[in-house]
């Protein structure tokens, strides 16, 4: 079955400078029905966000052109905290980085290497959360 005949479960922006990791994660996500746009640089991430809409963003911490926490802050500033789920996907397991990422507004934190089943459960949870946020935003109740 070609990609054109598959109905996407959602659009994901994957930001990771390691091409091997990016391909592996793209393959895993696409196998589960997600449409994935993979980029290797922070400025490419910002360009894609200005061009397209995504349901979930996966961000690496160490990028060649910008620190991942700074990129996370820029993305959150553009999208707002409740707009789109963001998952930090990184090899950085230290508590300081993790705590700072959550303070800035990351929705989940996955450390590489990761278990594929656990990773996909987290992605699915965030995608469901993102859908419910959009539905709530669309349902404007009249003031009584």
Residue 140 pLDDT exceeds 50? no
Which pTM value belongs to this model?
0.83
Q: 56 in a domain, yes or no?
A: yes
Question: Range of 88's domain?
Answer: 3-93+106-114
41 vs 144 pLDDT, higher one? 41
Please check whether residue 92 is in contact with residue 69, taking contact to mean a CB–CB distance below 8 angstroms.
Answer: no
Q: 77 in a domain, yes or no?
A: yes
* Per-residue DSSP letter, 6: S
Please check whether residue 88 is in contact with residue 61, taking contact to mean a CB–CB distance below 8 angstroms.
Answer: yes
| CATH code of residue 42 | 3.40.50.2300
> How sure is the predictor about 117, in pLDDT bands with cuts at 50, 70 and 90?
very high
Please check whether residue 31 is in contact with residue 24, taking contact to mean a CB–CB distance below 8 angstroms.
Answer: no
Place of tokens 């990791």: 21
The whole-chain average pLDDT of the chain stands at: 86
CA–CA dist 16, 28 (Å, integer): 15
Q: What is the pLDDT of residues 65-94, one digit of tens each?
A: 999 999 999 999 988 655 789 999 999 889
């Amino acid at each position: 079955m070609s990609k054109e005949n598959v109905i996407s479960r959602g659009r994901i922006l994957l930001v990771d400078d390691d091409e091997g990791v990016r391909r592996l994660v793209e393959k895993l996500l696409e196998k589960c029905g997600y449409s994935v746009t993979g980029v290797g640089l922070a400025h490419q991430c910002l360009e894609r966000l200005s061009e397209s809409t995504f349901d979930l963003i996966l961000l690496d911490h160490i990028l060649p052109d910008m620190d991942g926490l700074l990129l996370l802050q820029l993305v959150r500033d553009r999208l707002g905290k409740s707009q789109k789920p963001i998952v930090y996907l990184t090899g950085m397991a230290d508590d300081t980085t993790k705590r700072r990422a959550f303070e800035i507004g990351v929705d989940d934190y996955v450390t590489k290497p990761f278990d594929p089943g656990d990773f996909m459960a987290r992605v699915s949870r965030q995608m469901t959360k993102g859908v419910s946020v959009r539905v709530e935003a669309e349902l404007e109740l009249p003031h009584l």
